[in-house]
Amino acid sequence: MHFNEEDVNRIVTDIWTTILDLEIEQVQDVVALPPGQRSMVGCIQIAGEWQGAVTLFCPDSLVRKSAASMFGMSEDEVSEEEMQDTLGELTNMTAGNINTLLPQGCTISLPSVAEGIDYKITIPGGRITTQLGFMCEGEPMIAAIMERV
């Protein structure tokens, strides 16, 4: 299943601007997370008539900024747990909205969050069907939808 990029862009930008009050915009150029720097990925699995996953890839600094906005605190006050909670919830909201575009009966999992330097996340049997790059407050972010084939 191919997802309309305009729908995915609207979902992501609405969440980040409404919930976090952060400026975010889709970019047409390929976006890559800074190599050698710590980053985080949130992942939600979707099961049912359609199977796949929704992922958000962010540099650590963007997740920290997002958590500070979500919890109403300074970036220095944000804990690792609050960063994980924030990215998990942003991924959950994104996947929940994507789920409304899928056939009835599809369900989403609890969010998983991974973090590290130069790691790779794979969904066995999956392929990326939609991937959009964004710039948020001058930092890159990637939203990807993978379908299990």
Mind listing the pLDDT tens digit for each residue in 12-57? 999 999 999 999 999 988 788 888 899 999 999 999 999 999 999 9
**Domains in the chain and their CATH numbers?**
5-148 (3.40.1550.10)
Task: Indicate whether 99 pLDDT > 90.
Answer: yes
Listed residue (65, 87, 90, 88) closest to 78, CA to CA: 65
- Distance, in Å, from the CA atom of 76 to the CA atom of 99, rounded to the nearest integer, reads 35
Task: Indicate whether 98 pLDDT > 90.
Answer: yes
- pTM for this model (two decimals): 0.94
Matching residue, tokens 């942003």: 90
Q: What percent of the chain has pLDDT over 90?
A: 85
